[in-house]
Amino acid sequence: MMYVLDTNTLIYFFKGMGNVSKHLLKVPPKEIAVPTIVLFELEVGIAKSTSPAKRQKQLQDLINAVNIFPFGYKEAGYAATIRVKLEKKGLVIGPYDILIAAVALSKKSTLVTHNIAEFERVAGLEIIDWY
């Protein structure tokens, strides 16, 4: 099984919040992936952080240990489908969340997030909350 980590899951991990660390340490690193969209969101947060050096090291250590899933042509197709389906139902979620969901769906992976309310709107997306 492959787990794709959402931005909030990694923020909780880096800050030692909830049960994220406990769950994450039980899973082999080869079964963990971070989408490049999440890396972007984390880099923005680090740039705004009061302790950017510490957070950058945490991120680099993570990147060195897990899989990085890029956002490419296949994922763009999934994202477009997700957005159109949600718009037809009158259910919108954030644009980055659509991209993250598309990566998880395209890789047939489970998305690990604390943002259940947003992501449960995406048909076929397996989600789990480690918080």
Confidence of residue 11 (pLDDT cuts 50, 70, 90): very high
Quote the percentage of the chain above a pLDDT of 90: 98
pTM given for the model = 0.95
Q: Please give the average per-residue pLDDT across 74-103, as a whole number.
A: 98
Q: Please give the average per-residue pLDDT across 73-92, as a whole number.
A: 97
Model confidence over 31-78: pLDDT tens digits? 999 999 999 999 999 999 998 999 999 999 999 999 999 999 999 999
Confidence of residue 102 (pLDDT cuts 50, 70, 90): very high
- Evaluate whether 9 touches 116 at the Cβ level (below 8 Å): no
Model confidence over 111-121: pLDDT tens digits? 999 999 999 99
The residue ranges of every structural domain in the chain are 3-128
- Evaluate whether 55 touches 44 at the Cβ level (below 8 Å): no
Q: What angle do CA 97, 102, 104 make, to 5 degrees?
A: 95
Write down the CATH superfamily of domain 3-128: 5'-nuclease (3.40.50.1010)
- Tell me, what's the pLDDT at 53? 94
Q: Please give the average per-residue pLDDT across 14-22, as a whole number.
A: 95
How far lies 14's CA from each of 27, 57, 94, 114, in Å?
17, 10, 23, 14
